[in-house]
């Protein structure tokens, strides 16, 4: 990649960062009165944790989606298409079903978050590592298996909810829809620390992503322990998706949207730029969407609905555009 293209991408990233900051400032300041110190402080107390949660979600899903696409060597596949959201829904439902909504695991937000992250991280890592190994990273087979797993997890979750006590189901339902309301600040801090730990533990593998995208044979010839890197990166992806999903709920297609927008805008194979662009796009989409939800639709429709509908249409566009090439 020549110097002019690198500089062009840096300018694009700066513009994206400015857009994300404008959205963040608009979310924090719209319909507030800075002249009234107490009212302004109260508004910030409510909005700042939500903004931080959206930032953490954008970084975790944006980064995980780019890494996942590079690992599987396909740009229209994201973790949600392989059933990770359905896996979270099943795990969360099973915890409430077997332990009850009044159990310490369900009532303690920090413990519930930890249980969701650990169970989903272990299950996703073991399951999807086995799928990739058995299918030899064949995209068609992976997508087919992912579709079957999504239906399988959904069927079990539906069965559990049908035989569940109605009161238990009412307490469960709110956590199965993505929401940025009532964010627990302690969970937020734990999420940031966990993501920082994942990034630090995988710093070597992340630095090798540009090499891994050349293919298995080329990467091995360049001295890369390919299988070990893939396993560790898949674990990191599973943990990042688990953190975002356990914190705000499943947001289908967000990763597909922001990862592909980043690739189309930057047109580079440098993963540092792609991940940064994906995270910034995610910030703009989430904050802008939440701003519209709160001040235009008055919380009548959650932001996840708009993302799912838009993401589904964008996914069809990507399929049709690829078919024409």
Calculate Rg over the CA atoms of the chain: 20
0.95 exceeded by pTM? no
- Residues counted in the chain: 325
Choose between 322 and 200: higher pLDDT: 200
Q: Quick one: pLDDT band at residue 235, thresholds 50, 70, 90?
A: confident
Give CA–CA dist 60/121, Å, rounded: 14
Give CA–CA dist 30/42, Å, rounded: 14
pLDDT the model gives residue 1: 58
Residue 291 pLDDT greater than 80, yes or no: yes
CB 5 within 8 A of CB 269: no
Give CA–CA dist 185/168, Å, rounded: 25
> Residue 127 class from Cβ within 10 Å (0-12 exposed, 13-18 middle, 19+ buried)?
middle
Q: What is the pLDDT of residues 86-116, one digit of tens each?
A: 888 888 888 888 888 777 777 777 787 888 7
- Of 13-22, 76-85, 222-231, 269-278, give the lowest mean pLDDT range: 76-85
Q: How far apart are the first and last CA of the chain?
A: 23
Give CA–CA dist 112/110, Å, rounded: 5
Residue 35 pLDDT greater than 70, yes or no: yes
Average pLDDT estimate for 75-86: 79
Residue 285 pLDDT greater than 90, yes or no: yes
Look at residues 228, 231, 239 and name the one whose alpha carbon lies nearest to residue 119: 239
Q: Quick one: pLDDT band at residue 5, thresholds 50, 70, 90?
A: confident
pLDDT the model gives residue 324: 58
pLDDT the model gives residue 244: 86
Look at residues 8, 19, 109, 41 and name the one whose alpha carbon lies nearest to residue 291: 19
Give CA–CA dist 294/181, Å, rounded: 11
Q: Does domain 63-324 have CATH number 1.10.3470.10?
A: yes
Residue 278 pLDDT greater than 90, yes or no: yes
- Of 44-48, 120-124, 146-150, 234-238, give the lowest mean pLDDT range: 120-124
Average pLDDT, the chain: 84
CB-side exposure of 285: number of CA atoms within 13 Å? 29
Give CA–CA dist 123/172, Å, rounded: 21
Look at residues 88, 111, 86, 87 and name the one whose alpha carbon lies nearest to residue 99: 111
Q: Quick one: pLDDT band at residue 258, thresholds 50, 70, 90?
A: very high
pLDDT the model gives residue 257: 92
Give CA–CA dist 125/127, Å, rounded: 6
Contacts of 299 (CB under 8 A, 6+ apart): 293
Structure-token pair, residue 24: 């963040």
Q: How far is CA 284 from CA 20, 62, 134, 272, in A?
A: 5, 12, 38, 19
Contacts of 79 (CB under 8 A, 6+ apart): 64, 65, 68, 124, 237, 238, 241, 255
Look at residues 191, 79, 65, 209 and name the one whose alpha carbon lies nearest to residue 132: 79
Residue with tokens 């927008």: 261
Residue with tokens 């939440």: 290
Residue 14 pLDDT greater than 90, yes or no: yes
pLDDT the model gives residue 86: 84
pLDDT the model gives residue 182: 61
pLDDT the model gives residue 60: 93
Percent of the chain with pLDDT over 90: 23
Q: Element (H or E) spanning 10, and its range?
A: helix 3-29
């Amino acid at each position: 990649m020549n110097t002019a293209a690198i500089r062009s991408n840096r300018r694009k990233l700066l513009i994206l960062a400015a857009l994300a900051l404008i959205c963040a400032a608009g979310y924090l300041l719209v319909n507030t009165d800075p002249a009234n110190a107490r009212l302004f402080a109260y508004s910030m107390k409510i909005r700042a944790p939500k903004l931080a949660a959206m930032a953490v979600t954008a970084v975790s899903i944006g980064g995980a989606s780019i890494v996942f696409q590079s690992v599987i060597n396909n740009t229209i596949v994201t973790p949600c298409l392989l059933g990770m959201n359905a896996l979270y829904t099943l795990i969360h439902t099973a915890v409430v079903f077997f332990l009850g909504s009044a159990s310490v695991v369900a009532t303690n937000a920090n413990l519930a978050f930890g249980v969701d992250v650990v169970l989903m991280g272990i299950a996703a890592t073991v399951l999807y590592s086995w799928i990739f190994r058995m299918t030899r990273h064949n995209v068609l087979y992976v997508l087919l298996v992912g579709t079957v797993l999504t239906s399988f997890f959904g069927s079990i979750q539906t069965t559990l909810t049908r035989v569940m006590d109605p009161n238990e189901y009412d307490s469960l339902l709110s956590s199965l829809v993505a929401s940025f309301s009532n964010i627990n600040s302690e969970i937020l801090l734990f999420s940031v620390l966990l993501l920082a730990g994942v990034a630090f533990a995988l710093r070597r593998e992340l630095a090798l992503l540009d090499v891994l995208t050349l293919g298995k044979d080329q990467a091995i010839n360049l001295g890369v322990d390919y299988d070990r890197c893939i396993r560790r990166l898949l674990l990191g992806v599973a943990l990042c998706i688990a953190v975002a999903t356990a914190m705000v709920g499943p947001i289908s297609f967000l990763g597909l949207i922001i990862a592909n927008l980043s690739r189309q805008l930057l047109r580079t194979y440098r993963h540092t730029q792609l991940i940064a662009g994906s995270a910034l796009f995610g910030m703009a989409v989430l904050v802008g969407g939440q701003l519209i939800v709160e001040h235009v639709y008055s919380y009548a429709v959650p932001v996840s609905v708009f993302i799912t509908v838009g993401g589904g249409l964008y996914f069809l566009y990507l399929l049709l555009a690829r078919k024409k090439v």
